[in-house]
Structure 1
Amino acid sequence: MLLSGTIGVFVVESGASPFNVVFYRCVFGALFLGVYCALRGFFRNHGFTARKLALAAAGGVFIVFNWAFLFEAYGRTSISVATVVYHTQPFFVVLLGALFFKDRITRQKAGWLLVAFLGLVLVAGVSASDLSGDSAYLVGLGYALLAALFYGLSTIITKRVTGVRPHLVALVQVLLGIPLLLPFTRLGQSAHLGTGWAWLAGLGFLHTGVMYALMYSSYQKLPTSKIAVLAFVYPAAALICDWAVYGHHVTWTQALGIPLIVAASLGTNLGWRPGRRGGPAPTAAAAPTALATPAAPAAPAAAVRPEAKAGRCAAG
């Protein structure tokens, strides 16, 4: 999660356009995950069927565009605001589940949705100048929300891929991202990146390779309650990085909205109810939706086989 918090800095410092960043992230990530899966013997008895492969690929379409829209949001708002707004993703999962699979939205979940919406309004920090100007900030907020929506779509699709190691699901998704993003990628710009290549390689190897291995291995070792809390190290680290590197900070109003989104997400994941200290802690196999960060395709932990406004200017 600490690694996740540095994603924004790597994206900005690369100097590449958002679609170029995601394209090369897929390239470097596929190289790492391919070697890792081969060394661990994951290709043997992989568990894929034609249906599961199709579902993994469909989830991959949404996950790679989710990255692209989030990275677009960084430049139009700030790393801090985009990351916090993006963390409304669990509520899109709830709403999409109700829409597509008729999952019931209880009064408890509806209440947390309202809390999250209030937090989102405070974090957005939209002012009259945003409405009367070129609206770049509003577009950035829209990109962050669209990224969260695409994350939710990837989650509800990829959850259906069972009996396959999540590392392999992730590999399928980043491999798919290479031809999928090629039409949107300006390869000619790559010749002038210079040191930006090091930042792009870091996104692929660290944030799409090493981090996957760390997170997926942790899913079977920790209960969901602990993972859900630790997941919020990511936005906290992103806020600190945005302040330390670019001098961006949240306003007092935005600072009031952040804990509302955090509380609502935890309440949804952990089944908190008013008047209770918390619901029953699920097992580690039922990983909460907040686990998958922008660096992680929404491969469920259950798929692991037992073996264990602020800165309105563009950041940078």
Structure 2
Amino acid sequence: MSTETRSASTELKGSIELTAAMILSGTLGIFVVESGASPFNVVFFRCLFGAVALGLYCLVRGFFKNHGFTPKKVGLAALGGVFIVFNWAFLFESYESTSITVATVVYHTQPFYVMLLGAVLFRDKITATKLGWLVVAFAGLVLVAGVSLSDFQDGDKSGYLAGLGLALLAAVFYALSTVITKRVTGVKPHLVALIQVVLGIPLLAPFAAFGEMGGMGADWGWLIGLGLIHTCLMYVLMYSSYQKLPTAKIAVLAFVYPAVAMLCDWAVYGHSITLLQALGIPLIVGASLGVNLGWTFGPRRAAAEPAADKPAAGAADKAADSASSSAPLPSGARTTAGTTDAADKITIGESR
């Protein structure tokens, strides 16, 4: 088998893995709603069952050997976990006040909060192009939200507005986890995720209403599924796919998740959106891809001619290396510098 054939086969396998993971992500809302449990109870048991399954997977794969953790890295992973587990709770709460569709689309404004937090906390430069995409995303958010100024004075809309606020807060918490966990380098992403779900157990215990769990019967299956399917299995598929795929394909396939979530919300619960709200979705999707893939609004400037005393090929190689090292990963994917294994270069603050 030639190198090109092997590469194409590997990329195809990665595409299948990531598509499967995003399809699973899209069904998460159904598991949350059908369980009938309160959002904090759902997240608590997702962490519990997810920790057991993911811990066993890491044990079987031998990830605990030469794990690469230091006290600082453990602390950063744990701090990121605080934001991740509360991000889940706020997102699940927003399902009840809005819908799975609206909450999911609003939640996908995460990349822009990551960008803004990077500028505030680490003085990352926000270019005019990125600012332009931020404006586009905000316009899409306004359309998807489907609210006007008069709605803020309407008491009947208070629950819906609160749900939108929770979805936005969940996105901000996800962004905070992203910028924190990005500093955890040289560690298997599975182990970072394991620390976060293990932390969620004692962290959410005071908020969980265990008295409400009696008589759930078969509904326990939905909660177990969230831990085994939407945490362990989905993590494994995503981490495996990121080793095999270029950034551009990851960015595009990531939007299978909201598409499937919208389809499930319509098929199972009959929730649909208005034409005006539908117009906002491509704005958010396009703006997110624009930021992640470095799209510009106008033609790119022509590349500078290589210096006369340097070979053109060398200049081209240098430019390619620079582009690959600065290319941003899509929402949910975070580079971890200082590792040699491609799998170690990706960590997920699993938001779904």
Q: TM-score, normalised by structure 2?
A: 0.82
Is 1:176 aligned with 2:217? no
Q: Per the alignment, do residues 300 and 192 of structure 1 end up closer, same or farther by CA in structure 2, a change over 3 Å counting?
A: farther
**Residue identity opposite 1:198 in structure 2:** G
Counterpart Cα distance in 2 of 1:158 and 1:28: 22
Counterpart Cα distance in 2 of 1:230 and 1:282: 21
Give the counterpart of 2:250 among 210, 224, 227: 227
Deviation at 1:198, TM superposition (A): 0.2
Aligned position for 1:313: none
Deviation at 1:68, TM superposition (A): 0.2
Counterpart Cα distance in 1 of 2:133 and 2:327: 20
Deviation at 1:300, TM superposition (A): 3.9
CA displacement 1:91-133 (0-9 Å, x = unmatched): 0000000010000110010000000000000000015456412
Is 1:126 aligned with 2:110? no
Give the counterpart of 1:116 among 127, 134, 137: 137
Give the counterpart of 1:213 among 230, 233, 236: 236
Is 1:241 aligned with 2:264? yes
Is 1:151 aligned with 2:145? no
SS at match of 1:273: coil
Give the counterpart of 2:111 among 83, 87, 90: 90
Counterpart Cα distance in 2 of 1:199 and 1:285: 40
Deviation at 1:250, TM superposition (A): 1.1
SS at match of 2:265: helix
Is 1:193 aligned with 2:216? yes
Deviation at 1:188, TM superposition (A): 1.2
Q: Per the alignment, do residues 144 and 249 of structure 1 end up closer, same or farther by CA in structure 2, a change over 3 Å counting?
A: same
Counterpart Cα distance in 1 of 2:324 and 2:262: 30
Give the counterpart of 1:290 among 331, 338, 344: 331
| Count of residue pairs brought into register by the alignment | 301
Q: Per the alignment, do residues 100 and 179 of structure 1 end up closer, same or farther by CA in structure 2, a change over 3 Å counting?
A: same
CA displacement 1:129-166 (0-9 Å, x = unmatched): 56412400000000000000000000000000000000
CA displacement 1:30-82 (0-9 Å, x = unmatched): 01110000000000000000000000000000000000000000000000000
SS at match of 1:184: coil
**Residue identity opposite 1:88 in structure 2:** T
**Residue identity opposite 2:101 in structure 1:** S
**Residue identity opposite 1:306 in structure 2:** D
Is 1:4 aligned with 2:45? no
Q: Is the 8 A contact 1:223 1:283 kept in 2?
A: no
Is 1:306 aligned with 2:329? no
Aligned position for 2:160: 137
**Residue identity opposite 1:160 in structure 2:** R
Counterpart Cα distance in 1 of 2:323 and 2:31: 34
Q: Is the 8 A contact 2:113 2:175 kept in 1?
A: yes
**Residue identity opposite 1:81 in structure 2:** V
Counterpart Cα distance in 1 of 2:240 and 2:325: 11
Deviation at 1:287, TM superposition (A): 6.2
SS at match of 2:187: coil
Aligned position for 1:311: none
Aligned position for 2:316: none
Q: Per the alignment, do residues 141 and 226 of structure 1 end up closer, same or farther by CA in structure 2, a change over 3 Å counting?
A: same
Which runs of 5 or more structure 1 residues have no equivalent in the other structure?
293-298, 309-316
What RMSD, in angstroms, separates the aligned Cα atoms of the two structures?
2.1
Aligned position for 1:32: 53
Q: Is the 8 A contact 1:224 1:282 kept in 2?
A: no
Give the counterpart of 1:250 among 263, 273, 276: 273
Counterpart Cα distance in 2 of 1:304 and 1:219: 14
Q: Is the 8 A contact 1:93 1:155 kept in 2?
A: yes
Which runs of 5 or more structure 2 residues have no equivalent in the other structure?
1-21, 301-319, 344-352
Counterpart Cα distance in 2 of 1:12 and 1:2: 17
Aligned position for 1:21: 42
Pair member with larger Rg = 2
Q: Is the 8 A contact 2:185 2:336 kept in 1?
A: no
Among all aligned residue pairs of Structure 1 and Structure 2, give the percentage whose two residues are the same amino acid.
68
Is 1:267 aligned with 2:302? no
Q: Per the alignment, do residues 201 and 302 of structure 1 end up closer, same or farther by CA in structure 2, a change over 3 Å counting?
A: farther
CA displacement 1:232-259 (0-9 Å, x = unmatched): 0000000000000000011100100000
Aligned position for 2:304: none
